[in-house]
Structure 1
Amino acid sequence: MSARKEALRILFEVFKNNKFSNKLLSNLKQTTAMSKEDIAFVFKLVYGTIQYKIYLEYVVNKIIDSNKTDLKIQILLWMNLYQLKFLKAKAYYVINEAVDIAKSINKNYSGLVNKVSKILEDENIWEVKIKNKQNVFPLENGFPFWLYKKIENDYSKEQAQQFILHSNIESKISLRLNTLKISLEDFEKKYFEKYKLEKSQLIEYFYLSNKNIINQEIFLEGYVTVQDQMSGYASYILAPKENSKVLDMCSAPGGKLTHLAQIMKNTGKIHAYELQENKIHLIKQNLSRLGVKNVILECKNALEIEEEKYDFILLDAPCSGYGVIRQKPEIKLKKYSEQENEELVLLQSKLLEKAYNCTNKGTEILYSTCTINKKENEEQINNFLLKHKDIEKIYEKVFFGNEYDNDGFYICKMKRI
């Protein structure tokens, strides 16, 4: 199985059928038909082509008529340019294999692929020359101008540019130590050097790694779980006490949920809800693997739950996801309509109201999103606080991803007084 041909197949599913590359690539890990090196190359080629798609398309369209060229051929040319410019691959191998792949799609395109690919070797054609000078930097980095301007308007030009640069840096795997099964001292003594771990600068029992550990002993035995540092920081900031009653309103995939249980040392009760039935099985697997025993899990819309009173409430709300572009670069290729934006903000608002109805005096609420969008974050919370004068803000922070080699994230902790 050709690595480049497999990358093309996955990219076609992403661009044509709006599939998520991380899910398609996860399936690829299960195959025995490709070497680990080839699978790693497919990952790099797929993510890189998606990350820079806006730029790659701009350059390729200088040469071809996109309206008259098969989409698969266009994607193949984007892949070629990515390899030539960003991977510094030898043109001979890139072009020869691309021509062979083109023949398998439609032999009539092989000549076009050969001709265009040779033109793409010329670095002069890589230059961005557009009238809108504000868009040169975003376009060179494969970032949509509309999202760049949104971040700039919400925060600053410098912050927007830093976010763009960071979004194209390959991320390390973030791991949370599960102290329900092993102590920090024992874990570090046995596994720190073995897996070449790097300590997180944010939370003591989080680690960064360049190694895939999904099929390794430390993962299978439940000693660690894969969780972004910012996702873990949300539960860390909520800090539910032992023997307390906790509500997790939107639980999948279970990272924050199992972290809450860990913080509570498996005491008290966590009522967890997840709307999507297909994710319940994944959450149960994580609960079992990590030895979590204080969770009551239900497949139910959080807006429809009975309004019991809780000591701590976690609302990790559905959001636009701009903060995790580094992990899911497809997100930046979809621009939500005004109606979609309004519906999303309204849903978040309704979930916050449901959370409020589950509070007593002293209840603490943690609202988080994995996006960088003031309407979904700061403005959403400000509106909530205006409506409820008995809620005070304890902590609020926007993370842009470059602080601790993390994803973009928003966290706000509140308390009913």
Structure 2
Amino acid sequence: MSHKTAREMALQILYRIETQKAYSTVLLDQAANDHDWDGNQALLRQLVKGTLEWRGKIDSVLKPIVKGDLESLTPWIRNILRLATYQILFLDRVAPEVAVNESVELAKRYGHQGTVRLVNAVLRKVVAQRHQKIAPAVVEQDPAEYIATNFSHPKWMVQRWLQQLGVEETIELCMANNRAGHLCLRTNTLQGSTSDLRRQLEKEGIAFRPAHYAPDCTLVTTLPRTTRLNQLSSYCDGLFQVQDESSALIAYLVDPQPGEYIVDLCSAPGGKTTHMAALMQNQGRILAVDLHRHRLHLIQTNTKRLGITMIEEVCADGRTLHLDHLADRVLVDAPCSGFGVLGRRSDARWNKAESDLQGLRVLQRELLQHAATLVKPGGRLVYSTCTIDAEENEGIVQAFLNDSPEYTLVGASPHIPAILIDQQGYYRTWPQRHEMGGAFGAVMVRST
């Protein structure tokens, strides 16, 4: 039986992302354990991530050539064209004729004779025109259109960022989202020190460097082509958890202490939950709450591998959760637009609509309001997101504080580097400023 190529695997992943709003990270992780393909993970990740990152630019090239509505094509054919155009325009190591021929073969399997001819004709025009400069909108005349087309982001997102950041920094943000970031490993201090982890990584042939701000994080700079992360001894022995540096710093805002009772209200997949357990030396109790049972399974899998025994998983709606007694600290890592992590979740920029944001803000307010009832007097309430959107961040917190006089905003934990704390005392990171994902955190204390 013939195995699928990396290109065919990439096509299937892109199809599911577009039609099912599946997550690229999840699908790529699943592909790592799928043996029914040629196993070139580096190429697969590059094809998926690159096609998603540059989809806006790619579509601007394809639409005039297709001479019709690109959306009228089937998702299979549309993504065959996108995948091939990415290779032709952005991958110098792939010969254009190879990209065309491979795509024609895919069209034979996922289309019909008419679409095979279409794919062949369109891609040959892309090849012929690839060195032509397409005149974009002049930045001064229409900055949103210019940035959206040339840096491949939805125009409505760009318009929001222009209001918040201005032209120059919006371009820097989009460029940061399109750069390949390093894989970040957070040390599981229950199983050893960061030095122990790095010595083991050296033995496994993994090149790395220390993270920018978090002392227990390590950035992988080179992962050998044939290496599967989940097969490394360091992974199987629970020496690390994959977690972005901006996310790993959130646990320090909570500042959990051994023996305390902590509630993580939106816990899956469990990176912050397991980090808090490590900071607590696996002593005390953490209630890991999530609305989706299948996502709680991810926490169970990680806690077993990491050697954590203090976490209790509860499938419940964080807006109605009832506790047997009030918690010392509650973390609300709220569902959000994810604007801060578009660099590693390229699919998110195309799977969201501006109309989704209002519903998210309602959910965020409701989660924070109910979480406030779960904290004991003198306890700590932390609200965090992985977005850079002000309305989802300080907008939610300020509205909550206006209605909740028993809570006071306090400065971020002394464990957080001062450069990541703004004048209001919020924890805030930006992809274009700090070379990590964008994140937000607010620390509040209950007085009565």
Normalising by the smaller structure, the TM-score range is: over 0.9
Aligned mates of 1:15, 1:254 — CA distance in 2? 26
Aligned residues: percent identity? 26
Deviation at 1:117, TM superposition (A): 1.6
Distance change >3 Å, CA 185–CA 101, structure 1 → 2: closer
Query: 2:155 corresponds to which residue?
Result: 145
Aligned mates of 1:286, 1:163 — CA distance in 2? 32
* Structure 2 residue 53 is the aligned partner of structure 1 residue 51: yes
Match of 1:96 among 94, 101, 104: 101
Distance change >3 Å, CA 235–CA 120, structure 1 → 2: same
In structure 2, runs of 5+ residues without a counterpart are 413-425
Query: 2:327 corresponds to which residue?
Result: 310
Distance change >3 Å, CA 368–CA 77, structure 1 → 2: same
Aligned mates of 2:101, 2:429 — CA distance in 1? 44
Distance change >3 Å, CA 29–CA 140, structure 1 → 2: same
- Aligned residue type for 1:133: D
Deviation at 1:70, TM superposition (A): 4.1
- Aligned residue type for 1:137: I
Within 5 A, what are the aligned runs for 1:14-413? Answer: 14-37=17-40, 39-67=41-69, 69-88=73-92, 89-104=94-109, 105-121=111-127, 122-125=129-132, 127-130=134-137, 133-134=142-143, 135-192=145-202, 194=204, 195-209=206-220, 210-211=222-223, 212-307=228-323, 308-336=325-353, 338=355, 340-393=356-409, 394-395=411-412, 396-413=426-443
- Aligned residue type for 1:87: L
Aligned mates of 2:339, 2:380 — CA distance in 1? 26
SS of alignment partner, residue 287 of structure 2? strand
Deviation at 1:248, TM superposition (A): 1.0
Deviation at 1:342, TM superposition (A): 2.5
| Residues 30-78 of structure 1: CA deviation (Å, up to 9, x unaligned) | 22233333x3212211211111111111111111134364443332222
CA contact 2:185–2:219 (8 Å) conserved in 1: yes
CA contact 2:184–2:217 (8 Å) conserved in 1: yes
Aligned mates of 1:390, 1:157 — CA distance in 2? 40
Distance change >3 Å, CA 288–CA 336, structure 1 → 2: same
Distance change >3 Å, CA 233–CA 93, structure 1 → 2: same
Aligned mates of 1:191, 1:92 — CA distance in 2? 39
Aligned mates of 1:34, 1:9 — CA distance in 2? 12
CA contact 1:323–1:401 (8 Å) conserved in 2: yes
What is the number of residues matched between the two proteins? 415
- Aligned residue type for 1:145: K
Distance change >3 Å, CA 335–CA 277, structure 1 → 2: closer
Aligned mates of 1:46, 1:295 — CA distance in 2? 35
CA contact 1:59–1:125 (8 Å) conserved in 2: no
Bigger mean CA offset, 373-382 vs 98-107: 98-107
Distance change >3 Å, CA 170–CA 361, structure 1 → 2: same
CA contact 1:176–1:224 (8 Å) conserved in 2: yes
Distance change >3 Å, CA 239–CA 94, structure 1 → 2: same
CA contact 2:5–2:38 (8 Å) conserved in 1: no
CA contact 1:66–1:74 (8 Å) conserved in 2: no
Aligned mates of 2:137, 2:166 — CA distance in 1? 23
Distance change >3 Å, CA 133–CA 156, structure 1 → 2: closer
Distance change >3 Å, CA 59–CA 387, structure 1 → 2: same
Distance change >3 Å, CA 141–CA 155, structure 1 → 2: closer
Aligned mates of 1:357, 1:110 — CA distance in 2? 60
SS of alignment partner, residue 406 of structure 1? coil
Deviation at 1:213, TM superposition (A): 2.2
Aligned mates of 2:30, 2:239 — CA distance in 1? 24
| Residues 371-402 of structure 1: CA deviation (Å, up to 9, x unaligned) | 12111101111111111223222230321223
Deviation at 1:327, TM superposition (A): 1.8
Aligned mates of 2:363, 2:401 — CA distance in 1? 17
Aligned mates of 2:396, 2:124 — CA distance in 1? 51
SS of alignment partner, residue 343 of structure 1? helix
| Residues 304-352 of structure 1: CA deviation (Å, up to 9, x unaligned) | 22253222111101111121211221211134354x4322212111111
Deviation at 1:192, TM superposition (A): 4.4
Query: 2:415 corresponds to which residue?
Result: none
Distance change >3 Å, CA 188–CA 15, structure 1 → 2: closer
Aligned mates of 1:293, 1:74 — CA distance in 2? 47
SS of alignment partner, residue 36 of structure 1? coil
Deviation at 1:249, TM superposition (A): 0.8
Distance change >3 Å, CA 253–CA 65, structure 1 → 2: same
Find runs of 4+ consecutive structure 1 residues off by over 4 angstroms.
none
- Aligned residue type for 2:120: N
Distance change >3 Å, CA 126–CA 21, structure 1 → 2: farther
Deviation at 1:223, TM superposition (A): 0.9
SS of alignment partner, residue 411 of structure 1? strand
Query: 2:419 corresponds to which residue?
Result: none
Aligned mates of 1:9, 1:183 — CA distance in 2? 40
Structural RMSD (CA)? 2.0
- Aligned residue type for 1:197: F
In structure 1, runs of 5+ residues without a counterpart are none
Aligned mates of 2:10, 2:322 — CA distance in 1? 47
